[in-house]
Amino acid sequence: MKTNLFTIGLGGVIGNEEDGPFIGKERLLTLEETLRMAEVSLRKNSKEGKTGCGWMRLPYEDIGPIGSVAEKIVGFDSIVQVGIGGSALGNLMLNDAFLHPYHNELSRKERKVPRFYMADNPDPKGLSAIWDCIDPERTAFIVVSKSGSTAETITLFLWFFEALSERLGPEKALSRFVFITDPEKGILRVLAEKGALASLPVPADVGGRFSVLSAVGLLSAMGLGLPVSELLEGARLMDDHIKKARGIWENPAWLLAALHFLHFVQGRHMTVTMPYSDGLERFAEWHAQLWGESLGKGGKGSTPIRALGAIDQHSQVQLYVDGPDDKLFTLIDVKKKEPELHIPSVEMEEMSPVFYLGGHTFSDLLTVEAQSTAAALMKAGKPVIWMEIPCLDGIRLGALIFLYEMVTALTGHLLQVDPFDQPGVEQGKRYTYGLMGRAGFGSDAAEASEGFGKVLGIALSV
């Protein structure tokens, strides 16, 4: 029986080219063969283990080893994951979708699984706050760094390790840590072999922003009882749908990649992802990294913008509707939102102006608000992609993740950029290494100091 994953409405972007923001069907068809060859190349590279392409295999990998480690951490009172970027955003996306919004505040009996904290920014306020909330002796720490040398992650690890060592001693402290890192080399790999609770590999051909369906995202998810099997099933279903599609009109990945590329060519250099569901707020944030870091190269790429409906109707939609025509919009609605809560009907005469709301559900209201925003954008001549998900479950989120990973990779091919490298990020890392005194990066420190000196060349003190 075929699973209805979701519906994608493209009437707001496909039409006659003379109708303002629309992309004509003829132009889409001109990209069909290019997209076909791009997908063939991606699948070939994935099978051969080419750098960056391993994410396509993740839905089919054996997760038994991850499950074995998850069994070791599920008995702890808290889990702290230490990572940044792709080592954090995917986890937060999964938690946001499936955990109680105030999970950590529930009693152990109510939540049944550990509390979860993400240490992803070396800000001392947030770092010390996590320490204030946990019982260190009853906490497992997951440290994620493929290279083992990411400055932010390593400094956070060092702080937690020292603080825990003062309580338990270094040997016992190390037994509270799980390392997810390069399978063969690096600082964390060495530590993992000296008495850590466990270790898992980051696949060599999977980049951080594409790693959510690996141990990087799945270990904490399994420890927290999230629907990991369904996530992977959804990813496989989407992959299967893409592989079996007969041409661009049946292939959502090709269509979305082509539309983003053609709108970029038309001068729409920003893409707005706006879910009308609190459970997808972090999906928009995860997508922003995936999109921005993969495609922003060589003067190309569209800037990802995160928004949340209905909140950002009151902060951003004025700009979206009445501002410049430089954005492509994707609105995402979840039809069945849980729990089903009804807006009360009232009989007080003073409340008569809002009688019309009574009897509807809050889910109805959010859906209507999403539809209204789409209609307002269309009236203003702005391009809108509409996505409608029956419900937010593991299968749908897994399908959504795989779809947008494929869309990102294909859009990179159309833009003629490598979606799997990150030269701009690497330059910043080298400057950080140099300024913090790492051996071998003296010239980078000098260059960074000179560059920052220019920033302060004209300064205003107030």
Residues designated catalytic: 293, 314, 429
* Angstrom distance (rounded) from CA 216 to CA 219: 6
What are the C-alpha distances in Å from 390 to residues 56, 65, 253, 340, 367?
25, 32, 19, 14, 12
Pick the closest to residue 393 from 66, 70, 4, 73 (CA basis).
4
Q: Tokens at residue 172, please? A: 């016992």
Residue 88, both tokens? 């954090």
387: β partners:
8, 332
Q: Which residues of 80-108 are buried (b: 16+ CB within 10 A; e: fewer)?
A: bbbbbbbbbbbbbbbbbbbbeeebeeeee
Q: In what order do the strands lie in the sheet with 177-181?
A: 115-119, 78-82, 139-144, 177-181, 198-201
Burial degree of 118 (CB within 10 A; 0-12, 13-18, 19+): buried
Tokens of 364: 């109805």
**How many whole angstroms separate alpha carbon 83 and alpha carbon 302?**
26
Peptide bond before 170: cis, by omega within 30 degrees of 0?
no
Name the residue with tokens 């003190």. Answer: 461
Distance CA 163, CA 156 (A): 11
